[in-house]
């Protein structure tokens, strides 16, 4: 099969598969985005807190001479 024919077949297959996709509504997309942003902020706060605690512990261990 020639390269051009393979590319044409690929594009046709992609179009066929994309027609099967169930796309979210605008409201569903906004809700999901809100959840992702909220989780990211919570995870960032947790990571920051853990980093601060570990930083203090390491300083205590290094200066405990």
Query: So what's the pLDDT on residue 13?
Result: 96
Residue-by-residue DSSP string for 12-50: HHHHHHHTT--PPPHHHHHHHHHHHHHHHHHHHHHHHHH
What does the domain layout of the chain look like in residue ranges?
28-65
pTM for the whole thing? Answer: 0.64
Query: So what's the pLDDT on residue 64?
Result: 77
Whether residue 57 is predicted with pLDDT greater than 80 in this model: the reply is yes
End-to-end CA distance of the chain: 74
- The string of pLDDT tens digits covering residues 7-52 is 999 999 999 999 999 999 999 999 999 999 999 999 999 999 999 9
Q: Which three-class secondary structure state does DSSP give residue 51?
A: helix
């Amino acid at each position: 099969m020639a390269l051009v024919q393979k590319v044409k077949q690929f594009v046709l297959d992609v179009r066929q598969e994309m027609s099967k996709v169930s796309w979210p509504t605008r409201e569903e997309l906004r809700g999901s985005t809100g959840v992702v942003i909220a989780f990211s902020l919570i995870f960032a706060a947790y990571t920051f807190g853990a980093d601060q605690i570990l930083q203090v512990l390491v300083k205590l261990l290094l200066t405990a001479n």
